């Protein structure tokens, strides 16, 4: 089973915050793939379904961002899910808005949700880093991520979430590079140049250069 964890804060006041892009992504994914309705479990909201032939559990911790690991650890222990089968979707201020990068293991880079997950399940889980941009001053980061996405973000946000939902079955295969590539391809399909029209066949006895 794959455990998909979206990070965010519970409640309507936070629903459209940049910090909640992980929640947003799971909502779109669960709807696209016909997951069960959300219900309370594991100190969060869970929905179950399939991505291709494999079972998947979507989890939105309701412990607030700083304690996200409590919910993740509880769900992982119950289902005996190891770190390589945990995929965490979270906001990333060090990526430009709309950019997506995959990562396995490593540090938490000061992200409090990741810091908490590290404490409960270790560092070797997989991550989908979703760029929300940087305010330009580290002292403004907290207010920046706890503000709603702006109008300009609507140029990329819905397309990114839809593309992730479509590509999600690749995650259960462990094909993170393929997932990232498919998301990029869905969002920026190659341009197809029209085929050149065939040249007319000259009628016998005529001079096509005349």
Q: How far is it, in rounded angstroms, from Cα 181 to Cα 145?
A: 27
Instruction: Calculate the CA dihedral of residues 97, 100, 104, 107 and round it to 10 degrees.
Output: -10
Q: Which residues are CB-contacts of 82 (< 8 A; sequence separation ≥ 6)?
A: 76
- Cα separation, 153 vs 174, in Å, equals 29
19 is catalytic: yes
Please pick, among 19, 33, 90, 111, the residue that the annotation labels catalytic. 19
Evaluate whether 187 touches 159 at the Cβ level (below 8 Å): yes
Q: Which residues are catalytic?
A: 19
């Amino acid at each position: 089973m794959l455990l998909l964890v979206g990070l965010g804060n519970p409640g309507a006041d936070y629903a459209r915050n940049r910090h909640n892009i992980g929640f947003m992504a799971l909502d779109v994914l669960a709807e696209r793939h016909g997951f069960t309705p959300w219900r309370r479990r594991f100190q969060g909201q869970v929905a179950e379904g399939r991505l291709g032939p494999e079972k998947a559990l979507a989890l939105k911790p309701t412990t607030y961002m700083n304690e996200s690991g409590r919910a993740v650890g509880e769900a992982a222990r119950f289902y005996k899910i190891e770190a390589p089968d945990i995929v965490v979707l979270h906001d990333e201020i060090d990526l430009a808005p709309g950019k997506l990068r995959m990562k396995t293991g490593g540090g938490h880079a000061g992200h409090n949700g990741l810091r908490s997950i590290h404490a409960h399940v270790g560092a070797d889980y997989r991550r989908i880093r979703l760029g929300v941009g940087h305010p330009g001053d580290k002292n403004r980061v907290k207010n920046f991520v706890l503000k709603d996405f702006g109008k300009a973000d609507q140029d990329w946000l819905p397309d990114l979430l839809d593309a992730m939902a479509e590509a999600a079955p690749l995650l259960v295969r462990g094909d993170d590079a393929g997932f990232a590539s498919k998301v990029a391809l869905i969002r920026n399909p190659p341009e197809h140049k029209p085929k050149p029209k065939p040249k007319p066949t000259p009628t016998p006895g005529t001079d096509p250069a005349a």
